[in-house]
Structure formats: structure tokens, C-alpha cells
Amino acid sequence: AQGQFVPAGSWLPIIFNPSFPYRLTHTVIAAFLTTALVVAGVGGWHLLRDRANLGARKMLAMGLGMVAVMAPLQILAGDEHGLNTLEHQPAKVLAMEGHYDAHPDGAPLILFGLPSDRDERVRYAVEIPRLSSLILRHDPDAPLPGLKDFARDRRPPAAILFWSFRIMVGLGLAMLMLGVWGLWARWRRRLYDTPWLHRAAVAMGPAGFVAVLAGWITTEVGRQPWVIYGHMLTADARSPIAAPAVATSLAAFVVVYFAVFGLGVLYVLRLIAKPPEAHEAEPRRTPRHAAGITPVATFEPTNREKDA
Ligand code: HEM
């Protein structure tokens, strides 16, 4: 009545909503995968220059090992996530799949094509019959609704979702293949002697970041036009702030973020460019932490230094 959506008594049902376990699992695995791919990519980069570098070998072995474990888990988690989304945000999944029409007796999986919201169809669709029903309902003949079952102004923009979803899934499958290739090379005892594997690891180094962004776009664009699904439209949630004020703060964000992250990325790339040194000693010093989360630049003396 007051134009507010506050759950009776507690915010916990909002945080622990029905998609929470799926999102948490999928996003945490995404973080593990992204990290593993960067480590494997940096290891591969240095092995292409010096195959004997022990540090680089360890990075490649551990990174690819992690990818081999996490990529199949991520695909399983993503599949479960999709089933949950179909239950709670069906229009999102229908847009991801490019289903404008309902399919009463089994929907095909559209691999590629050009979705057009205006024409309400996917042009040049390449599809596999009934596979979408098999994936989403575990039954090839199961019916699936279509976007046309929703009013035009209650649908997300299908083209963005169709492609962001394919980028995420495509990269997930590429990660799986990289992990399997790594296992195969390890089994053949050629993990450090397969330059094409090292090149593939370098090429896939940034793939985790791209997949995470694609997943995020799928999630956020996919819930449009709702800010609170089925209850409140994004258009009704906007703040009464004039466009120039929004543009100014956006411009400030762009400038500050480009400067801060730009420098950060340059710094990290310079660190990455340095090969791990042969026989590099284990870290000896324990950084002491300040009261907050920021490490301070002082070190506890090691026991050996204390003795000395
Ligand atoms: C390969 C198979 C994959 C499938 C089937 C899959 C499935 C999904 C689905 C259905 C969503 C959207 C769900 C929703 O918003 O309701 C999603 C979101 C997401 N995906 Fe994937 N995914 C896959 C691979 C990946 C990979 C490889 C990564 C990253 C390394 C990734 C990262 C994400 C992220 C970060 C989100 C956003 C989650 C959120 O904000 O709640 N996904 N995925």
C-alpha cells in the first residue's frame, strides 16, 4: 500500500530465496575456475619460453588439474541452475533458448540463429529436435511454453540472453575440453612437452572472466522488465534523479574505474610477465596484518632470524 516491498518481519527469505543454493554453487565454482585458468595460462605462457621452469610446471599442472575437476561440476551445477530458473523465472529461460513459440510436444534445442523480438522468431535457426525438452524437462516429448505466452512488455530482450548464454556455455564446454586434454597429456606423461596445450591454456587464461560476465548479463538482463520478479517493474523502481546528474556520476565512475583498474591490471600483468625463478625459496616471512583487512608492510622475524 505504501509502494514498498518489505517481507513480513524478515529479510532472510529474500536472501535465501529458492535460487540461492544454485547461484551460490554456480558462482563459487565460477570463481575457482576463473582463478585456475589464470594460473594455468600464466604457467603455459612461461613454459612456452622455458619448458624446464619448475614453477611454471607446477602452475600449469595445478591450474589444469583444478579445471579438470571444476569444469564438469560447473556444467552440472549450471544445468541444475537452469531447471530452477525455469521454475521461478520461466521467461528468462525461454529467451535464453530462443523459444518464442510454445511447443506442446517437445521443443528443439536451437544451437545458433538470430533471435528477433520484433518478428518473434529466430532466423537461420540451426536446431536439434526435442533436445531442449530433454534438457529442461528430462523428457524429449515434454511441452514447453513460449515467450509469446507472455505479454510483449513482460519479456526480456531475447537476443542479448540468447548470445550471453551461448558465450557462457560455449566457454564452459571449452574449459571442459581443456581439462580433459590436460588429463590426457598428464596420463601420457607429456604435460610439459605439448606446446599446443600450453598455447590453449594461455588462450583460455581470460575465459573465466568472460564467462562470469556473460553469466551475470544472462542473470540480470534475463529478469527484466522486473526488479522484483512479478511484483515491481524496473521502470517503477527508478530514482527521481535527473539524467545529467546520473550521467555525471556515471562518467566519474568510468574515469575512476579505468584509472584504478587500469593501473591494477598493468601491475598484475607485469608481475605475470616475470617467470617464476628457478629454486625460488619458499616464502619465509609472515606479513603481520593491521586491525582491518589491509596487510601492513612489516614482517614478523622468522625463528632463524630471532635465533641469529
Ligand atoms: C557450461 C554450462 C553452463 C550452464 C548450463 C550454465 C547455466 C547458467 C544459467 C542457467 C544461469 C542463469 C540463471 C539465472 O539467472 O537464473 C547462469 C548464470 C551464471 N553463470 Fe553459468 N552456466 C554454465 C557455465 C558457466 C561458466 C563456465 C561460468 C564461469 C566460469 C559461469 C558463470 C555464471 C555466472 C557468474 C552466472 C550469474 C549468476 C548470478 O548472478 O546469480 N557459468 N549460468
Segments making up each domain of the chain, as ranges: 12-237
DSSP 290: -
Most informative mutation of 14, 219, 221 for ligand 1 (most atoms within 8 A of CB): 219
Return the C-alpha cell found at 294. Answer: 589491509
Q: How many residues can be counted in the chain?
A: 308
Tell me, what's the pLDDT at 279? 62
CA–centroid distance, 298 to ligand 1, in Å, is 41
Tell me, what's the pLDDT at 3? 65
Q: Under a CB-based contact definition with an 8 Å cutoff, are residues 85 and 93 in contact?
A: yes
Return the C-alpha cell found at 117. Answer: 523480438
CA–centroid distance, 74 to ligand 1, in Å, is 8
Q: Mind listing the pLDDT tens digit for each residue in 146-166?
A: 999 999 999 999 999 999 999
Supply the residue whose CA is at minimum distance from atom 19 of ligand 1.
Answer: 215
CA–centroid distance, 214 to ligand 1, in Å, is 8
CA–centroid distance, 215 to ligand 1, in Å, is 5
Most informative mutation of 75, 81, 97, 135 for ligand 1 (most atoms within 8 A of CB): 81
Q: Mind listing the pLDDT tens digit for each residue in 60-96?
A: 999 999 999 999 999 999 999 999 999 999 999 999 9
- Provide the phi-psi class of 138: left if phi over 0, else alpha when psi is between -120 and 50, else beta: left
Q: Grade residue 293 by pLDDT with cuts at 50, 70 and 90.
A: low
Supply the residue whose CA is at minimum distance from atom 15 of ligand 1.
Answer: 219
CA–CA separation, 47 and 64 (whole Å): 14
CA–CA separation, 147 and 46 (whole Å): 49
CA–CA separation, 50 and 48 (whole Å): 6
Supply the residue whose CA is at minimum distance from atom 22 of ligand 1.
Answer: 78
Supply the residue whose CA is at minimum distance from atom 6 of ligand 1.
Answer: 78
CA–centroid distance, 139 to ligand 1, in Å, is 23
CA–centroid distance, 211 to ligand 1, in Å, is 8
Half-sphere exposure of residue 116, counting CA atoms within 13 Å on the CB side? 8
Q: Mind listing the pLDDT tens digit for each residue in 87-105?
A: 999 999 999 999 999 999 9
Return the C-alpha cell found at 212. Answer: 562470469
Work out the number of other CB atoms within 10 angstroms of the CB of residue 35: 14
Q: Under a CB-based contact definition with an 8 Å cutoff, are residues 156 and 221 in contact?
A: yes
Q: Mind listing the pLDDT tens digit for each residue in 237-249?
A: 888 889 999 999 9
Q: Lowest mean pLDDT of 10-19, 111-120, 148-157, 209-218, name the range.
A: 10-19
Please give the single-letter amino acid code of residue 276.
P
CA–CA separation, 130 and 99 (whole Å): 12
- Spell out which residues line ligand 1, taking CB within 6 angstroms: 23, 26-27, 30, 33-34, 74-75, 78-79, 81-82, 85, 89, 92, 168-169, 171-173, 175, 208, 211-212, 215-216, 218-219, 222
pLDDT higher than 90, residue 223: yes
pLDDT higher than 90, residue 308: no
Shortest-distance atom of ligand 1 to CA 219: 15
Work out the number of other CB atoms within 10 angstroms of the CB of residue 181: 19
pLDDT higher than 80, residue 255: yes
